[in-house]
Amino acid sequence: MVGIRSFGALALLSFASAAVSSSTAGIEALVARRLPHLAHKFHFELSSPCAQNASCFDSYTVSSVGDKIKVSAETLSGLNRGLYAYLTEIAGGDIYWTGSYLDVDCAPPVDQKLTGSSVVKWRYYFNTVTFSYTAAFWHWEDWELQLDWLALRGVNLPLAWVGFEKTLIDTYRWAGLTDAQISTFLSGPAFQAWNRFGNIQGSWNGTLPMSWVNDQFILGKKIVDRMVELGMTPVMPAFAGFVPRAFPEVDNSPNLVNSSDWSGFPTILTNDTLLEPQDAFFTKMQQYFVTKQKEDFGNVSSIYTIDQFNELTPASGNTTYLATVSNSTIESLKAADPNAVWMMQGWLFFSASTFWTAERIQAFLGGVSNNEDMLILDLFSEVQPQWQRTQSYFGKNWIWCFLHDYGGNMGLYGSMQNETVVPMEALAANPNMVGMGVTMEGQEGNEVTYDLFLDQAWSKAPIDTASYVQKWVQRRYSGKAPQSVFQAWDILRTAVYSNENANVSVVPKSILGLAPAISGLFRFGAGNHHPTVPSYDPQVLIGPWRLLVQAAFAHPHLLKIETFHHDLTDVTRQVVANAFIPAYVNLISTWNQTGATSASIRKAGQKLTDILTTLDKVLYTSPDFLLSRWISKAVAWAKGSHEIKTYYEYNARNQITLWGPEGQINDYASKDWAGLVGQYYKERWELFVKYLATTTPETYNATVFGDTLLQFEQAWNGQRWSGPACTKGNLLHIIETDPLLQSLLA
């Protein structure tokens, strides 16, 4: 072993268990941010703070005292939720990630006390990959809104990955690795989640700038500080064991193994090296990492996330080996923090269910002898619960999770039965179910489903969705919606957001965002992460869309409400995307006909490109559907450096398209975004129609067309944005004048 430095001063630091804040400054600051004109109307009171390790749940009481609204609770999270209950139930306000803020003109008195209590100790939020699919390029203003949104809904256990790379680099340096050796391991900003999981290593378009690492470290500290200020317990990362390939030069341990490959990436970009937890040096690195992290971020939590086998196969299926790995992992954490709790995603037990037999799962979890020292996220509980086949995780504490969305897909979708009734049934049957969590891969649209699920964590009985959605619509549109809007949403609730179709269990995506092909674009069936067949009859969506459009024409003020404009854009987007399906079927049918001509094929193909033109125009009317916003947030981190801007923009473009240098996970994170539809998807479909017009079913060559497509895709990935940087067009004018939309409305 060479180059190992002692802990020095870090080794002398002693951290007690993180204390629960007794200050109400955080929630007072939240009110000042979101309701500055009413800040003087609220009084917040903490009484007998409930220790984090106690079995009590968060509760609140809201009442009128004189001319003030008094919110009292035992915890900050209880205060947050109490304020939210007042705003939503009394004042008619709310806060959304889609751009609407707390729109409350006055603070009406509370005639009867409002009381409430959570039904689970923990309300968890985020998936490791959300930090890449949605939040990769977020700035502080994005995080500030997100954290306020989470706090008000009563989330008290958010994942906190931002800034991780700085601590990891410090740990590698302490171990003796050079910056040059370290740089070959780190992945680009849009792909860091999978580098953290040990799925990939390195970058395929340059080296991660240290300016990114340092900027994210500063941002991460602000995020964690705000989480704590708002009464949340951040789940902090820990050292999982993944190391650069040069690590044998530092420690040529027999406990170094290469993880399995991932998703077809070349060996140079995957097969990450893992220093197994049973190695003594793993414990030393863990101690350094956790101690350094506490020094930098504060002693804010003793809950740590580690996932060593996310979509990776362990080096051995031997039960003794698996038990040794988990036992060594928790012991390394305990050596760094005696109060440590290891949180891990239970996704591996589903994604690699053939390997993870009940016997192996029991051995792996059994390596952690104290059930309280582990917390499992049952990541896909609403569709593929693993708690049932693992005997409730063999006694370990676990959280029922709502996954909902893969890759940031944008189709309209929900399953309200699975968000209300099912988790409450699980809670009644499992004393070691200690939380409810949202673990979406990407946070894109369908906001009502997230609100409903987080509210269910504060309701002892399954929420009645009919009355819930009506109240949600009332406050979402500032109490200014006509009856037709409520009718539209009730149809959406029963048809779109109450899926019972087992073949479509997650957010679907449109085939327009898939690489064109003559077959294979219609995907459905249990376990399919990317269905392209809606869970409802597409014609059913026309009804609520018409009602929303009619309301907008009759009540022009509605489009001035950001959330209504967003929702009308979103439903219009889905209607147009659904119209692409029969147009595609007609194109392939025309091409397959005996005697089909180039002209007839081009004519059928023109319908597809016309639809994409219309969709692009619709999307450009809303800031929430712009490719330019995603790119601008990315390049803003470069702070003027042309070279770094190019690097960040490639990352941003590549993730939502090829997802790899040669399309290893092509279109997994496709988006219905203005600019992406018009400049990328439309171009691909035009290439496809052009190729079909020169071939027959007998001469069609998928490889030849695939090569042509890849050339275009790779070239597009390397470009810089030159389109509009902001919204353009008027949504109602487009609906009123566009031939396609008019035909759909007829």
Residues of the chain with pLDDT > 90, as a percent, come to 92
Q: What is the pLDDT of residue 102?
A: 75
* Start-to-end C-alpha separation, the chain: 76
Band (pLDDT 50/70/90 cuts) for residue 49 is: low
Q: What is the pLDDT of residue 98?
A: 83
pLDDT of residue 522 exceeding 70, the answer is yes
CA dist 83 → 44, 460, 475 (Å): 9, 19, 15
4-18, 482-496, 664-678 — which is least confidently predicted? Answer: 4-18
pLDDT of residue 227 exceeding 50, the answer is yes
Q: What is the pLDDT of residue 50?
A: 56
Picking from 369, 367, 237, 365, the residue whose alpha carbon sits closest to that of residue 304 is 237
pLDDT of residue 18 exceeding 70, the answer is no
Indicate if the alpha-carbon torsion angle 502, 508, 514, 519 is positive or negative: positive
For residue 19, give both structure tokens: 């204390």
Radius of gyration of the chain (CA): 26
| Alpha carbons 584 and 729: distance in angstroms, whole number | 27
Q: In sequence order, which residues have a C-beta less than 8 Å from that of residue 318 and are 6 or more positions away?
A: none
Q: Considering the chain, what is the average pLDDT of its residues? A: 94
Q: In what order do the strands lie in the sheet with 157-158?
A: 157-158, 122-125, 433-438, 397-402, 374-378, 341-345, 303-305, 236-237
Q: pLDDT, tens digit, for every residue of 194-203?
A: 999 999 999 9
Classify strands 256-258 and 273-275 as parallel, antiparallel or unpaired.
Answer: antiparallel
Q: pLDDT, tens digit, for every residue of 150-185?
A: 999 999 999 999 999 999 999 999 999 999 999 999
Cβ–Cβ < 8 Å for 675, 627? yes
- 220-243 mean pLDDT: 98
pLDDT of residue 297 exceeding 60, the answer is yes
Q: pLDDT, tens digit, for every residue of 494-518?
A: 999 999 888 899 999 999 999 999 9
Element (H, E) at 644: helix 642-656
Q: What is the pLDDT of residue 30?
A: 97
Q: What is the pLDDT of residue 10?
A: 42
CB burial of residue 551 (10 Å; 0-12, 13-18, 19+): buried
pTM for the model stands at 0.96
Q: What are phi and psi of 419, to 5 degrees?
A: -100, -10
| Alpha carbons 417 and 411: distance in angstroms, whole number | 19
What's the chain's length in residues? 746
Residue 640 three-state SS: coil
For residue 363, give both structure tokens: 């051995």
Cβ–Cβ < 8 Å for 223, 299? no
| Alpha carbons 532 and 178: distance in angstroms, whole number | 47
Cβ–Cβ < 8 Å for 276, 328? yes
pLDDT of residue 16 exceeding 70, the answer is no
CA dist 600 → 240, 465, 519, 586, 740 (Å): 58, 48, 20, 11, 20
Band (pLDDT 50/70/90 cuts) for residue 97 is: confident
Q: pLDDT, tens digit, for every residue of 609-629?
A: 999 999 999 999 999 999 999
Q: What is the pLDDT of residue 709?
A: 98
- 284-294 mean pLDDT: 98
13-27, 29-43, 356-370, 500-514 — which is least confidently predicted? Answer: 13-27
Q: What is the pLDDT of residue 453?
A: 98
Q: pLDDT, tens digit, for every residue of 342-372?
A: 999 999 999 999 999 999 999 999 999 999 9
Query: Given the structure tokens 């070349």, which residue do they identify?
Result: 266
Band (pLDDT 50/70/90 cuts) for residue 105 is: confident
Domains of the chain, first to last: 25-52+58-117 (3.30.379.10), 122-463 (3.20.20.80), 485-745 (1.20.120.670)
CA dist 375 → 379, 397, 718 (Å): 12, 5, 42
Band (pLDDT 50/70/90 cuts) for residue 293 is: very high
Instruction: Give the residues across from 274 on adjacent strands.
Output: 242, 257
Q: What is the pLDDT of residue 503?
A: 87
